[in-house]
Each structure stands twice: as C-alpha cells, then as structure tokens.
Structure 1
Amino acid sequence: MNWRKSTYSGGGEGNTCVEIAESVTHISIRDSKAPACGTLSVAVSSFAAFVEGTKRHSRG
C-alpha cells in the first residue's frame, strides 16, 4: 500500500496524524505513530461522506 499523511500533520516530524492508503474500493486508515498496530478500512463512498460531513461541521 502507498500510505500518505495529511498536509495538516503536526509535530516536528509530522507524526501526530493519521495516514491513509487508497484502493479502488476502499480507504485504509492507520495511526501514524503506531502503523503496525492495525488499520481501519472503509468503502470509498463512506470515507467521502465522512470528509464532507467534517467539512460542513467545521464551517459551523
């Protein structure tokens, strides 16, 4: 898998965030501080809905 971090990652080494890896059907998510501890995989459509909901919520 090709993992990438958010551009909003904080910390000196950018390790205080989550990482995601994309496939055709799923998005995999893991903790950047403990990548070997497991991943969460969700359907692309569910992840897109989550991101859009987060954007709406943050706008107030």
Structure 2
Amino acid sequence: MDATAWRKSSHSDETGGACVELAQLGGVVGLRDSKAPNSGHLTLTPQAFATLIIQAKRDELPH
C-alpha cells in the first residue's frame, strides 16, 4: 500500500479533467496524473518545481 500523501491541485476541475496531484517525496516534489496514479510520476527538485509554477503562471510553457 502506498503511504505517500498525494494532494490534488486546487486547479484540477471536478469533472475529472486536468487532475494533477503533488507529493513531497523526500527532497523532491512528485507530480502525477490522478486519473492514472499507477502509471508513474515525475519528480522535480523544489527549485525546478518553483520555476515550473512561475513559468506556468506567466504562460511561458510550450503548448
């Protein structure tokens, strides 16, 4: 049983779309799709995660 505490993003919608979950995994931040939690996850350093959030808020990410 996975004891990791995954939290769904407050920006995820209630109809099952755009569902991103986050977890503190030791010294890194884990990201996964809540619709497919067993398909793996991405890990980022806290600094890389902060940069990702800043770029997303500025709409600077590739589409």
Which TM-score band applies after superposition, normalised by the shorter structure? 0.7 to 0.9
Match in the other structure for 1:39: 41
Aligned pair count reads 56
Q: CA deviation at 1:24?
A: 5.0
Task: Pick from 43, 56, 59 the counterpart of residue 57 of structure 1.
Answer: 59
Q: CA deviation at 1:56?
A: 1.8
> Residue 53 of structure 2 aligns to which amino acid in structure 1?
V
Match in the other structure for 1:6: 9
Unaligned runs of 5+ in 2: none
TM-score in terms of structure 2 length: 0.74
TM-score in terms of structure 1 length: 0.77
Residues in 1 aligned to 2:59 and 2:40: alpha-carbon distance in whole angstroms = 28
> Residue 40 of structure 2 aligns to which amino acid in structure 1?
G
* Alignment root-mean-square deviation, CA: 1.7
> Residue 36 of structure 1 aligns to which amino acid in structure 2?
N
Structure holding more helix per residue? 1
Task: Pick from 21, 24, 45 the counterpart of residue 22 of structure 1.
Answer: 24
Indicate the percent of aligned positions where both proteins have the same amino acid.
38
